[in-house]
């Protein structure tokens, strides 16, 4: 069964460093998303991406964040200068189309720890 894969599963980084979280969405999907879950809190939407551009973003997704689809298969989230409060589980998701009730398929997540 096709699945969304994320690497690495766990990343530890020092405050102020740049990190890139990687995702390989399901191959025929066109819409891509990043969500995050700070420990003990809700899963929160960060950004959606379609046709090589951001379609929606939340207020969390500030100038420190960027997304890219560098080739036909990868979808990346970059955090330019990490802060302690960026420590969270980051989930990538993809969906085939945007139709009423379309489900998103999620990866297993990358746990980012900023020290």
Partner 1 sequence: GNSVTQMEGPVTLSEEAFLTINCTYTATGYPSLFWYVQYPGEGLQLLLKATKADDKGSNKGFEATYRKETTSFHLEKGSVQVSDSAVYFCALSLMNAGNMLTFGGGTRLMVKP
The residues that touch partner 1, with contacts defined as CB under 8 A, are 4, 6, 31, 33, 35, 41-45, 48, 50, 55-56, 91, 93, 95, 98-109
* Residue 32 · residue 5 · CB < 8 Å: no
3-state secondary structure of 26: coil
| Residue 84: CB minimum distance to partner 1, A | 22
Is the Cβ of residue 86 or residue 90 nearer to partner 1 in the bound state? 90
Neighbouring C-beta atoms of residue 58, cutoff 10 Å:
15
Nearest to 47 by CA among 62, 61, 26: 61
Is the Cβ of residue 12 or residue 98 nearer to partner 1 in the bound state? 98
Is the Cβ of residue 14 or residue 41 nearer to partner 1 in the bound state? 41
| Residue 14: CB minimum distance to partner 1, A | 26
Owner of token pair 């990043």: 34
């Amino acid at each position: 069964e096709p699945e969304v894969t994320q690497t690495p599963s766990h990343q530890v980084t020092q405050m102020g460093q740049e990190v890139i979280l990687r995702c390989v969405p399901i191959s025929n999907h066109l819409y891509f998303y990043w969500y995050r879950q700070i420990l003990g809190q809700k899963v929160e939407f960060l950004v959606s991406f379609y046709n090589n551009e951001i379609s929606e973003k939340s207020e969390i997704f500030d100038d420190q964040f960027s997304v890219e689809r560098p080739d036909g298969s990868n979808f990346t989230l970059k955090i330019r200068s990490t802060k302690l409060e960026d420590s969270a589980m980051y989930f990538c998701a993809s969906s085939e189309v945007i139709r009423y009730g379309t489900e998103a398929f999620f990866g297993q997540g990358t746990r980012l720890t900023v020290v």
